[in-house]
Amino acid sequence: MISMRSFWASLPTEGRWLLSTVAMQTLGRGLTLPFTLIYLHEVRGFDLGLSGSLMALIAVTGLLVTAPAGILTDRYGARVVLLAGISCAIVGHSVLAVATTPGAAAFALVLIGLNFGISWPAFNALIAAVVTGEVRQQYFGVNFALVNLGIGVGGVVGGLVVDVDRPATFTGIYLADAVSQLIPMALLLFPLRHVHGRAQHADGAGPAPREGYLHILRRREVRWLTALTFVVTFVGYGQLEAGVPGFSRQAAEVSTGAIGAAFAVNTAVIVLLQFTVLSRIRGRRRTRVMLVMSATWVLAWLLLGAAGLVDSSAFAVAGLLGFMLVFGIGETMMQPTVPAMNNDLAADHTRGRYNAINAAAFQGGAIAGPIVAGFLLQHHLAAGYVALMVLGCAVIAATALVLERLVSPAVNGVLDPEPVPR
């Protein structure tokens, strides 16, 4: 049984530093994440279409810079690249706090997008450089739980603080988000200044040889893992901020308060169950864990679909809460497995590129998910929307089975695998 005490004891000092402040770092993100569209539209007075387009700049910019970020991570090290991304975040949130024109808001959101695109592959590469072996899978799971804890608490605090009739409250939360980024910057500049995350030759003579993206993507297992990440994100995270709230309001007709409570349930499930799930999946094939996750998500989507079919507000709320609870259980299976498998496929000198490819697939799903959800819900195709999500879960399962035949048992999370007969 994995406990926090045993997990903490197994971490190197650098891993403890990285993990100890995750919740505080993401608290700032939670303060602002649910309220940016409201801020742009209701506080700064931009029309709704323009506000949505401005928000899209974050994802589009992040996607565009992910590939260069992977190259820079492998060439100069994850620490330097992370510091550049954090600097963009600090400036971006500070500018957004006082932005009164679309141009200023666009500049700020592009900087925030630069941070997302730069920091994702660099941070995962830094984790993989610091934490090795079986503990790496556990680390990704615990990190995910702490990220959700920070965002969840930040969202609750932000909801209590902000008021559209008092613009200064929004200025305050964006400045707080900027200040929260000083925590990881201080870690990288002082206690972790020796962890560069840059691969060397075996003899330590210099930088390791580099491989291009085309070379990496020639590996079938990389292509299938990339496809799996895209579909998982499309069905999952690509729906949480747009599709699920839209379906809940249009088809299930639940209140915004109920939607907020449902997201709180989701966060609580992840935080409370992540260690239990980590113990259950330890040593099991990661692809089989993905099969269980896809079945769990099918159940979640059926619960949400049922919420929109029955003419009962109480049943609709129960269906939404059930969806978020069951969906959260699935999330606790996904987050420890996919990043760990991706980093186990990579060599030290290609880790930045592997994480960039995986991040690009995630961002692609996060962009496509809301677009498809918006189209279907706008045309009142709620049943078709749920059916498409269930079909997506089936695609996840099929892709995981293909991937299982392509990766080694060690990459698939099996402990001390039996040697393969020649």
Summarised one tens digit per residue, pLDDT across range 255-270 is 867 887 888 899 899 9
State mean pLDDT over 77-106: 96
Lowest mean pLDDT among 116-120, 241-245, 367-371: 241-245
* Token code pair at residue 55: 């928000």
Q: What is the spatial distance between Cα 306 and Cα 258, in angstroms, rounded to a whole number? A: 16
Residue 200's pLDDT is what?
54
Q: Which of 396, 216, 239, 217 is nearest to 305 (CA)?
A: 239
Backbone φ and ψ of 207, nearest 5°: -60, 145
Exposed / middle / buried, residue 190 (Cβ in 10 Å: 0-12, 13-18, 19+) = exposed
The DSSP code for 101 is S
Q: For residue 162, is pLDDT > 60?
A: yes
The b-or-e profile of 116-127 (16+ CB within 10 A means b, else e) is bbbbbbbbbbbb
Answer whether 267's CB lies under 8 Å from 156's CB: no
Closest CA to 339 of 36, 70, 127, 71: 127
Collapsed DSSP state (helix, strand, coil) of residue 218: coil
Of the pLDDT bands very low, low, confident and very high (cuts 50, 70, 90), residue 303 is very high
Cα-to-chain-centroid distance, residue 261: 21
Task: Examine the pLDDT at 210 and tell me if it is beyond 70.
Answer: no
% of the chain surpassing 70 pLDDT = 94
Helices (H), 210-285: 213-217, 220-235, 237-240, 243-250, 256-281
Two tokens at 121?
């592959």
Confidence of residue 238 (pLDDT cuts 50, 70, 90): confident
What count of other Cβ atoms lies within 10 Å of the Cβ of residue 6? 10
Q: What is the mean pLDDT of residues 214-228?
A: 96
Supply 12's token pair. 């190197």
Rounded Cα gap, residues 409 and 386, in angstroms: 34
325 — pLDDT class (breaks 50, 70, 90): very high
Confidence of residue 331 (pLDDT cuts 50, 70, 90): very high
pLDDT tens per residue, range 243-258 = 888 888 888 888 867 8
pLDDT band at 206; cut points 50, 70, 90: low
pLDDT band at residue 422 using 50, 70 and 90 as cut-offs: very low
Lowest model confidence (mean pLDDT) among 133-147, 179-193, 200-214, 299-313: 200-214
Number of CB atoms found within 10 A of residue 49's CB: 9
Whether 63 has a pLDDT exceeding 70, the answer reads yes
Tokens describing residue 307: 């919420």
Is the pLDDT confidence value at 402 over 50? yes
pLDDT over 70 (residue 417)? no
Q: Which amino acid is at 294?
A: S
With 90 as the cut, is the pLDDT of residue 5 above it?
no
How many Cα atoms occupy the beta-carbon half-sphere of 175 within 13 Å? 10
DSSP 43-63: IS---HHHHHHHHHHHHHHHH
Distance (Å, rounded) from C-alpha 271 to C-alpha 267?
A: 6
* pLDDT score recorded for residue 203: 46
Burial 380-405 (b: 16+ CB within 10 A, else e): eebeebbebbbebbebbbebbeebbe
d(C-alpha 105, C-alpha 90), whole Å: 14
Mean pLDDT throughout 134-163?
86
In sequence order, what are the beta bridge partners of 200? 207
The answer to whether residues 105 and 46 touch, using CB atoms and an 8 Å cutoff, is yes
Q: Report the pLDDT value the prediction gives residue 420, as an integer from 0 to 100.
A: 44
Contact 371, 363 (CB under 8 A): no
155 vs 142, more confident? 142
Which of 406 and 33 is assigned the larger pLDDT?
406
What is the rounded CA–CA span in Å between residue 306 and residue 319? 7
Measured CA to CA, the distance from residue 359 to residue 70 in angstroms comes to 10
* pLDDT higher than 90, residue 215: yes
Comparing CA positions, the residue from 175, 192, 226 lying closest to residue 28 is 175
Q: How confident is the model at residue 419 (pLDDT cuts 50, 70, 90)?
A: very low
- Could you give the C-alpha distances from 45 to 67, 109, 110, 314, 421, in angstroms and in order? 35, 17, 20, 35, 67
Given a cut of 50, whether residue 39 has pLDDT beyond it is yes
Q: Which domains does the chain have, with CATH numbers?
A: 16-140+162-191 (1.20.1250.20), 219-415 (1.20.1250.20)
Mean per-residue pLDDT of the chain: 88
- Predicted confidence at residue 321, as pLDDT, reads 94
* Residue 330 · residue 293 · CB < 8 Å: yes
Mean of the pLDDT values across residues 57-85?
A: 92
Statement: residue 411 has pLDDT above 90: yes
